[in-house]
Amino acid sequence: MNLANVSPRSAFGAGALACALLLGSGYYLQYFEGQEPCPLCLVQRVFYLGLLVTFLAGAIHGPRGWGAAVYAAVAALFAVGGLATAARHVWLQHLPPDQVPQCGPDLYFMLENLPLSRTLEKLFAGSGQCAEVGWTFLGLSIAEWSLAWFAALLVYALWLAARALRRPAAA
């Protein structure tokens, strides 16, 4: 199969499917395996959702040329945001125990009692809860898997953009 011949709809649809599966696995771990998401996990879910919506919009619209490049660029921005958040999360997990930040209030408390700007600041900073590793697969934590997936989705989005710019819009 030649990937250069895949339609833009199918290419964006594949990205949307990957994001839907990643979100689904996160919800499975939360609701069936008892892994409560930390603040940084929740932020990463927002970036996965942004990627999902962008890829889905690209799949529905099916643009070519510059239109596909714009969708891919927006997806790349969401992937970069997720990559940075996941990198911070992995960094927190690898801190020595005496340097781990204190656990803060949960998200619902912060949303009800703090201004939105302060809540977002605390979410992106992470907490001691973010340093806990409660689940691993093939030796990698959820945050490490998320980092790898955001990197893969970034490369995929950049490939989609480059591919769209190489092809004429009428093709």
pLDDT tens, residue order, the chain (171 aa): 555 677 888 889 999 999 999 999 989 888 888 888 877 888 899 999 999 999 999 999 878 888 888 999 999 999 999 999 888 888 877 766 665 555 555 556 666 766 767 766 666 555 556 666 676 668 778 888 899 999 999 999 999 998 888 876 554
What is the model's pLDDT at position 72? 93
Q: Does the residue 90 lie in any domain?
A: yes
Q: Does the residue 100 lie in any domain?
A: yes
CA 54 to CA 148: how far, in whole Å?
20
What is the model's pLDDT at position 157? 95
Total number of residues shown for the chain: 171
Nearest of 53, 50, 52, 124 to residue 86 by alpha carbon: 124
Q: What CATH number has the domain bearing residue 38? A: 1.20.1550.10
DSSP-derived 3-state class of residue 134? coil
Quote the number of domains for the chain.
Answer: 1
Domain containing 55 equals 6-166
Nearest of 80, 59, 46, 73 to residue 16 by alpha carbon: 59
Q: Does the residue 1 lie in any domain?
A: no
Q: Does the residue 171 lie in any domain?
A: no
What is the model's pLDDT at position 78? 96
Whether 161 and 55 have beta carbons less than 8 Å apart is answered as no
State how far Cα 66 lies from the chain centre.
24
